[in-house]
Structure 1
Amino acid sequence: MRINECYPGLEVGHLTLLEQTRLQVAGVNRTAYKCRCDCGKLVTRSVLSLHPGAHCGASFHNRKYYHPTGMSKEDFRKVYTTWYKIRTRCEDPNDKDYKRYGGRGITLCDEWHDLNNFTKWYWKESNHQILPPKDQSVDRIDVNKGYSPSNCRLLNAVDQSNNKRTNKIVEIDGEKLTYAEAARKYNVKKDTVRWRYLHGKRGLDLVDKHHSQRRYFVIHGQKMTLAQINEEFDIPMTTLWHWAKNNHDSIIMEKKIHTYQEEHKFGNKQAV
């Protein structure tokens, strides 16, 4: 192209011109432009090298790919990047994630070795009118099976994190949830749910905000919470919490209550 035909913002092939600069070409200082390729890569090209098919040099630009109606360049970059990462983690032993995917038998189906087929599936599955493709990721329904149309779906980051094979599932009120889902639903901290589960709590006790007050003791043959003991025997809650911290035995609790009553009864008599 000619110098007077170029300006920032002009699209030439796969390149968008950003800023004029200078570039040494064969020992000659030539007019050039900093450019951004459709794939997102930044390059510098001399004006004379710009042509209708110009690109950053990546080999995939020399091939024809399927672009559905309505798919932007940003959307396609997201789809391509997703497809490329899936292939490498499943098939490239040098990939940092290969051990957790290809190394344990997770494969990419033959159909999806063709980027066009993957793009068609992605665009069909993508609810792009509500959530754009850049905010979605490919999730395997069965985490022990490979990538294929029948075993994959598109989810946002939060939903996908709930499907990790390392997640612990707990049951609360008949519903199976991860630690994170339970924490969000019942408005408690995830670490609180995890700590309670590891210490033997189950069901609603995992998410009860007043869990310490729900501990039951049998006092004089009656099942009572700490709050009920406080009301019945007029013992401060802080004292009851201290007693109950490492004590789950109703007999010991009943003895402590009796001793407390005797001591305070004696103290009242002395005051009189």
Structure 2
Amino acid sequence: MEKKRKKDHPLFYTWHGMMYRCYKPYNSHYKYYGAQGITVDERWHDFWNFVYDIDNRMPNGHLLYSSDYQLDKDLKGGKIYSLENCVILSKKENQQLGYEKLQKRIVAFNDSQKIVFDSLGNVERQLNIKHGTLTSCLKRGNVHRKTGFRFKYIS
């Protein structure tokens, strides 16, 4: 049986995008992937190994053929695209996970009190602080005069 040309295969652009994000500094998303130490398992540098693993070894790999699904390495917390580290998620699930990852928790503290907030917006609303003032306090470590709190990001 003759192999298709790579570019004609339905998984080509998934693989190509993954490789370019991780290894091509001119790719617009490289700063979020390759520049952050995200890599692709050596086995998957070969397109046909990637296809074989998706088709034969990846749980629910067949779903990746639908544009409603994506390959995700973050759910398991890894920095390597690999068979062991990746899962297939719906676009909606993947977007929700990305959104949750971007939400940084913030702690407001002084000598006697510590309050944890789930977002900048919650700090702003509950303590009645303007966005610019809060981000300035976070960057510089300054005490907010009206509340007496310092602020920092926590994970």
TM-score tier, shorter chain, comes to 0.5 to 0.7
For residues 78 and 123 of structure 2, what CA distance do their matches in structure 1 show? 25
Asked if 2 retains the 8 angstrom alpha-carbon contact of 1:126 and 1:133, the reply is no
Q: How does 1:175-254 map to 2 (within 5 A)?
A: 195-196=121-122, 199-200=125-126
For residues 45 and 64 of structure 2, what CA distance do their matches in structure 1 show? 26
* Counterpart residue number, 1:136: 69
Stretches of structure 1 that go unaligned for 5 or more consecutive residues are: 1-62, 67-72, 170-178, 180-192, 202-272
For residues 64 and 21 of structure 2, what CA distance do their matches in structure 1 show? 26
Tell me: higher relative CO, structure 1 or 2? Use CA pairs within 8 A at least 6 residues apart.
2
For residues 55 and 67 of structure 2, what CA distance do their matches in structure 1 show? 12
Q: Percent identity?
A: 27
After TM superposition, the score normalised by the length of structure 1 is 0.34
**Counterpart residue type for residue 86 of structure 1:** M
- Selected match of 1:158 from 76, 82, 92: 92
For residues 65 and 150 of structure 1, what CA distance do their matches in structure 2 show? 26
Stretches of structure 2 that go unaligned for 5 or more consecutive residues are: 106-117, 128-155
Asked if 2 retains the 8 angstrom alpha-carbon contact of 1:65 and 1:116, the reply is no
Please state if 1:149 is matched with 2:83.
yes
Change over 3 Å in CA distance of 1:91–1:131 after alignment to 2: closer
Deviations 1:57-76 (A, max 9, x none): xxxxxx9359xxxxxx7xx3
Asked if 1 retains the 8 angstrom alpha-carbon contact of 2:44 and 2:82, the reply is yes
CA RMSD of aligned residues (A): 3.4
**Counterpart residue type for residue 137 of structure 1:** Q
For residues 123 and 89 of structure 1, what CA distance do their matches in structure 2 show? 23
- Selected match of 2:18 from 77, 86, 90: 86
- Give the aligned length: 108
Change over 3 Å in CA distance of 1:131–1:85 after alignment to 2: closer
The structure having more radius of gyration, on CA atoms, is: 1
After TM superposition, the score normalised by the length of structure 2 is 0.55
* Counterpart residue number, 1:112: 44
For residues 116 and 131 of structure 1, what CA distance do their matches in structure 2 show? 15
What is the CA distance between 1:105 and its match in structure 2?
0.3
What is the CA distance between 1:115 and its match in structure 2?
1.2
